[in-house]
Structure 1
């Protein structure tokens, strides 16, 4: 699977090796450099940053880490941070930096490339790619027409011993955070207790949940949509699992985003804006669509052909910046016994 993914990444990088308009930068390329703090892993965002370096001549110094750790570092460093740009895996971390007034306002010509629901309401950060929460299910044991309309209904005892989840995984914790915000603490707690009562199998992350669903170890699992498509790209249509999307306006089909913002104390605002422009440009958006199977968020960008159109999902409309309070989610998960 990894070999096929990397092959496609390098194909896109090759396509991207074209000069970027000099309008993007005003000083000599040899004098330019940017420092990026990235909560996205190197294998996901690194190829695009490298392609920008080659196309623009700008040297990019990247500090990689988990999104929560990088956000905490930024908050600790404050206006002394060397970072010019923060790229985050989820909107909650972007919201935390926004709340600390550490982002500069992004120019409207960049913000307008992305729909309002996938960017900061105050113009402080912008989404680059999106991912939907979904239910992965086993093709042999599950008729998707019989799956519940809402993720809240998986507390039904008939699902006992049939569910897979990853309570230590950041994407699941972000989902629970969204549930807390959208439905309130009481309903989120009730749902967690209901799932626990159904004796779910615990996995460390999304990938083994999808593999377990295909192998029949579980009937359904709670994951992000794109993990299935990595397996399908490698193993073909015979792979034994598929995705199910809950009904419109259900929290079960939450759309979270990976996004970026420019640090307010950076003295390289224009160069940072040029990188944001590139990340929302055709090459980068096709990379997110065709190589990582995420939803490209720039206006006019096409989704991967194997996934539903973003507009068809009817995702819950909520301010993604509010998902910053993951600490309360972690406390809730510990309270119900989902975390140690």
Structure 2
């Protein structure tokens, strides 16, 4: 019961009347992550799920389609992308007792425009041979000169990095965050480059000793025969902000402003936040479910536990522009 909509089919759907028992999704998340959920939802409700998988341009597409858009829901990762959709006016607020019960306040828009589904922690990958498990306890510590020439990371302008800098801004203010960025930059073993898995490969090859990355990449590397050795060369460490918890980001869902099948869309949003659906979704990409009573997959549990920073992610999204400006001011990637 899983249908990939091509652009042509989506165009046809614009002109077609909405069907009573269907719901249409635009998704940045990959087919293999959504298919178990869409199948389960259809089996439970009889509502057919149509999915258009997009690599980019979701907001632009929704703005171009306007009120004629066939999309009911959008799926994406990173609070910055969710906030972008809200700011563009392509979403609508949703108020549901089920959603409010299942999604902690830190993980949904205060105005109800988007709702988190799973989280991932921004952690430190550390060499098993060259770094003791208790050597990295805070994000602030990454600016300590003891790490000079030992840190690898992806670009400072990447959304994952900008989100972490935004959290640092929230907790410490502009001057301290600028000093922290300069300190981390001075500790880099090489110019920022590549994705999170490339940093772990660099640790494995001896280029650096620690790197920043998302937790789910450990699971992805372990299932890839070419990358298993990289994964086995590092420990997963959960640093915290001084006085707070570990930085997390989310995958989330929002209802579009047009939503031709609004009732079905709401049913799907509520279904996705149930503990059972949460655990299926989280397991598919080695993430953390957020519904009360839900548990991570056993492999994810094996990496250790942490207390998440409880700052509302929309607060951090509001600091993204200032965070990016600081990254550019210190020429982090230079």
User: What does residue 55 of structure 2 align with?
Assistant: 65
**Greater mean alpha carbon deviation, residues 240-249 or residues 257-266:** 240-249
Q: Is the 8 A contact 2:80 2:159 kept in 1?
A: no
User: What does residue 10 of structure 2 align with?
Assistant: none
Change (3 A) 1:156 1:75: farther
User: What does residue 337 of structure 1 align with?
Assistant: 331
- Within the alignment, does 1:206 sit opposite 2:196 as a pair? yes
Displacement of 1:135 in angstroms is 0.6
What TM-score do the two structures reach when normalised by structure 2? 0.80
Counterpart CA distance in 1 for 2:244 and 2:181 is 14
Change (3 A) 1:72 1:112: farther
Counterpart CA distance in 1 for 2:175 and 2:213 is 23
**Greater mean alpha carbon deviation, residues 186-195 or residues 45-54:** 45-54
Q: Is the 8 A contact 1:151 1:250 kept in 2?
A: no
User: What does residue 11 of structure 2 align with?
Assistant: none
Change (3 A) 1:237 1:331: closer
Query: Number of matched residues?
Result: 310
Counterpart CA distance in 2 for 1:238 and 1:314 is 23
Change (3 A) 1:71 1:47: farther
Displacement of 1:172 in angstroms is 2.0
Displacement of 1:288 in angstroms is 3.0
**Greater mean alpha carbon deviation, residues 226-235 or residues 129-138:** 226-235
Change (3 A) 1:264 1:316: same
Of 207, 210, 218, 2:208 maps to 218
Q: Which runs of 5+ in 1 are unaligned?
A: 1-12, 14-28
RMSD after superposition: 3.2
- Within the alignment, does 1:127 sit opposite 2:94 as a pair? no
What TM-score do the two structures reach when normalised by structure 1? 0.78
Counterpart CA distance in 1 for 2:147 and 2:75 is 38
Of 255, 265, 279, 2:272 maps to 279
| 1:70-101 residue CA offsets vs partner (Å, 9 max, x unmatched) | 24554566555443112120122323434555
User: What does residue 111 of structure 1 align with?
Assistant: 100
Change (3 A) 1:337 1:118: same
User: What does residue 221 of structure 2 align with?
Assistant: 231
Q: Is the 8 A contact 1:138 1:242 kept in 2?
A: yes
**Greater mean alpha carbon deviation, residues 150-159 or residues 75-84:** 75-84
Q: Which runs of 5+ in 2 are unaligned?
A: 3-17
